[in-house]
Amino acid sequence: MKSYKSMSKEELETLKSELEKEYNDFKAQGLKLDMSRGKPSEEQLDLSMEMMDILSSHDDLRCSTGVDCRNYGVLDGIPEAKELLGAMCEVDADKIIIYGNSSLNVMYDTVARAMTHGVLGSTPWGKLDKVKFLCPVPGYDRHFAITEFFGIEMINIPMTMEGPDMDLVEKYVSEDPAVKGIWCVPKYSNPQGISYSDETVRRFARLKPAAKDFRLFWDNAYSVHHLYDDDQDVVLEILEECEKAGNPDMVYKFTSTSKISFPGSGIAAIATSKNNLEEIKKQLFIQTIGHDKLNQLRHVRFFKDIDGIHAHMRKHAAILRPKFEAVIDILEAELGGLEIGSWIKPKGGYFISFDSMDGCAKAIVAKAKEAGVVMTGAGATYPYGKDPHDSNIRIAPSFPTLDELKLAAKLFTVCVKLVSVEKLLE
């Protein structure tokens, strides 16, 4: 296919009227499709329905230490749930605290605690004139929303195919004591599906922060969310690397079963060093008498062990893979060689990241919306909602049916073409 950039004005004008016709035909169909929601489809949720029947009134509802899970108690999670989530995030069970259903909630709490009480005896961040976080971009809007909410200044760090630009990370972290944290999604990142290389993880572990209360916010949201059995990313375990590098307290690792069982009713956890765990538990003791242990028990009895989780994730992959591949195939067929956009084919996670020509993303999303296809707002993948290039668009293939998705992806490509032609004609 001929690159749009090499076309003459006349060629572009002709193309524009053809594309306008194609776009209007789509519009006339009165579509109502949604490619914005990074959540499992109903079919995926159905995979875990047996969990609803796994505890009955006739069952023994005590955990392995004999505690009655119906009652108060067990602040940091029942032992078998710690084993299960420990295996999922590759740390020993004694390095884990099990929370409620949402890891985002744990991340919020972790930032909030640092704001009010500091980190291992440091000045509370809220009492400092300036607190900064590094934000690999494009990234997860809800991470950025937390730091924005607390008035923390966010600094963009460009992503590479190996993870965040580590030269920049090292510079900021080692030179500026106001830099207190970084948001990381190390495996199948949101939205690009990039996994950090061994070198990137080791450079993270070896950081020499100017602030002793600097922390890696290591969000392991997609640790077991592979699309392929025979081609999976493996990321070095960060707690172990930090220990080896003499920075044992530098990382908080977060995980949850949100996109494994039920996003609304899963279990979440934090894994971190003994010192950090002790500090967290002091606060947790004030915050709650214990999280939902019946739900922890339900998860353990349903999955049994890490092999059970992997087997379950293969069922998710069987549903998700055709959807991801359909979108990628349509992008390649419709936009390949046109030089008006680029994308990454992910091996796991929940998203496909698309980059348009500079200055086109907002217009593409608006055009898609006008024709009945909702996409994640352009800019959402950047702190403060500001994409400096106005080029990144997050595509979420999981929720629509395959047929809906194909239609939505096709319309999306028409919008990309039309907006790009308009841009080139400016």
- Closest separation between CB of residue 103 and ligand PLP, Å? 3
Site string for ligand PLP, 134-163 (x = CB under 6 A): ------x-----------------------
> Please, how many CA atoms are within 13 Å of residue 194, restricted to the half-sphere of its CB?
24
- Closest separation between CB of residue 38 and ligand PLP, Å? 5
* Largest CA-CA distance found in the chain, in angstroms, rounded: 78
Contact of 144 with 217, CB cutoff 8 Å = no
User: For residues 137, 138, 139 and 143, what is the CA-based torsion angle, rounded to 10 degrees?
Assistant: 60
Window contacting ligand PLP (CB under 6 A); options: 97-105, 154-162, 167-175, 369-377: 97-105
- Quote the CA–CA distance of 285 and 288 in Å, as a whole number: 6
CB nearer to ligand PLP: pick between 36 and 258? 258
Window contacting ligand PLP (CB under 6 A); options: 80-88, 196-204, 255-263, 398-406: 255-263
Helix (H) or strand (E) holding 71: none
Contact of 227 with 234, CB cutoff 8 Å = no
DSSP state of 3: -
Catalogue the E-assigned strands of 102-169. Answer: 132-137, 153-160, 163-164
- Closest separation between CB of residue 208 and ligand PLP, Å? 27
Residue 38 engages ligand PLP in binding (rule: CB under 6 A): yes
- Quote the CA–CA distance of 108 and 212 in Å, as a whole number: 20
CB nearer to ligand PLP: pick between 126 and 263? 263
Closest CA to 161 of 318, 345, 32: 345
- Closest separation between CB of residue 72 and ligand PLP, Å? 24
Residues in contact with 367: Cβ distance below 8 Å, sequence separation at least 6, in sequence order: 23, 415, 418, 419
Q: Is 379 helix (H, G, I), strand (E, B) or coil?
A: coil
Residue 223 engages ligand PLP in binding (rule: CB under 6 A): no
Contact of 266 with 45, CB cutoff 8 Å = no
- Closest separation between CB of residue 120 and ligand PLP, Å? 25
CB nearer to ligand PLP: pick between 33 and 268? 268
Kindly identify the residues of this chain, within the stretch 59-88, that bind ligand PLP according to CB under 6 A. Answer: none
Residue 195 engages ligand PLP in binding (rule: CB under 6 A): no
Site string for ligand PLP, 258-297 (x = CB under 6 A): x----x----x-----------------------------
Q: Residue 367 has which token pair?
A: 């055009």
CB nearer to ligand PLP: pick between 45 and 67? 45
Q: Which residues pair with 270 in a beta bridge?
A: 97, 254
Q: Which position among 190, 192, 247, 413 is part of the footprint of ligand PLP (CB under 6 A)?
A: 190
Residues in contact with 270: Cβ distance below 8 Å, sequence separation at least 6, in sequence order: 96, 97, 99, 106, 110, 252, 253, 254, 280
Q: Which position among 219, 237, 241, 390 is part of the footprint of ligand PLP (CB under 6 A)?
A: 219
**What are residue 393's phi and psi, to 5 degrees?**
-130, 130
- Closest separation between CB of residue 262 and ligand PLP, Å? 10
Contact of 258 with 221, CB cutoff 8 Å = yes
- Closest separation between CB of residue 267 and ligand PLP, Å? 9
- Closest separation between CB of residue 221 and ligand PLP, Å? 4
- Closest separation between CB of residue 258 and ligand PLP, Å? 3
Residue 396 engages ligand PLP in binding (rule: CB under 6 A): no
Kindly identify the residues of this chain, within the stretch 101-120, that bind ligand PLP according to CB under 6 A. Answer: 102-104
Residue 218 engages ligand PLP in binding (rule: CB under 6 A): no
DSSP state of 373: E
User: For residues 413, 419, 423 and 426, what is the CA-based torsion angle, rounded to 10 degrees?
Assistant: 140
- Quote the CA–CA distance of 21 and 18 in Å, as a whole number: 5
Q: Which position among 55, 146, 152, 185 is part of the footprint of ligand PLP (CB under 6 A)?
A: 185
- Quote the CA–CA distance of 157 and 120 in Å, as a whole number: 27
Window contacting ligand PLP (CB under 6 A); options: 98-106, 115-123, 244-252, 270-278: 98-106
CB nearer to ligand PLP: pick between 15 and 186? 186
CB nearer to ligand PLP: pick between 104 and 407? 104
Q: Residue 291 has which token pair?
A: 């999280």
Residue 227 engages ligand PLP in binding (rule: CB under 6 A): no
Contact of 295 with 135, CB cutoff 8 Å = no
Q: How many residues bind ligand PLP (CB under 6 A)?
A: 13
Residue 411 engages ligand PLP in binding (rule: CB under 6 A): no
The binding site for ligand PLP (CB under 6 A) comprises: 38, 102-104, 140, 185, 190, 219, 221, 256, 258, 263, 268
